Amino acid sequence: MNNHTIIQSDADVLFRKDINEVPGINDDNINFGVVTHGEQPLWEKITAIFSFFKNSEESKSFLRTVAGMILDNIQRKTSYWFLDQFSLSIGYEALEDRTTVQLLETPLLNDRECSDDSITWQTVHSVETNPRFIEHINYLQEKYN
């Protein structure tokens, strides 16, 4: 990953592996990467759990589209819980034929089961139910408290 790559993730994501293991993040031919759920409704097609953006005109255009939609909704004083994902999906659809995007696999970067192979764990679904997550949180608390 170069010094000009922007990483975006939800606050409830726990990174377990080196960020350089994210597919496409070190590929100079990839402009940005987003996590997809595949054939879903528009507001769930691209998730807000994780994205990366290289220093390219395509990435900047994507981010302008996403930010513009979110800002427009703020100015209108409207809010929807899916606004971030909806904006990401619209931005992606506007550019998908004109840029090189890495579509990231959901299990690798949106792991609710806390498996060893995943790069991240999505903690919101694991806080009270997954013993592996609880064990890892206890380890982090002991290490950093």
Q: Residue 143: is its pLDDT beyond 80?
A: no
User: For residue 50, what pLDDT is reported?
Assistant: 87
pTM of model > 0.85? no
Tell me: the pLDDT tens digits for 61-104? 889 988 988 888 888 887 666 778 888 888 888 877 777 887 88
For CA atoms 64, 69, 72, 73, the dihedral sign is negative
What is the distance between the alpha carbons of residues 124 and 112, in angstroms, rounded to a whole number? 8
The answer to whether 5 touches 25, Cβ cutoff 8 Å, is: yes
Q: What are the structure tokens assigned to 18, written together? A: 């080196």
Mean pLDDT of the chain: 80
Mean of pLDDT values over 42-56:
83
Share of the chain above pLDDT 70, in %: 83
Q: What are the structure tokens assigned to 39, written together? A: 């054939």
Domain boundaries, the chain: 6-109
Q: How many CB atoms are located within 10 Å of the residue 96 CB?
A: 12
Q: Residue 113: is its pLDDT beyond 60?
A: yes
* Residues in a beta bridge with 35: 104
What is the distance between the alpha carbons of residues 21 and 1, in angstroms, rounded to a whole number? 10
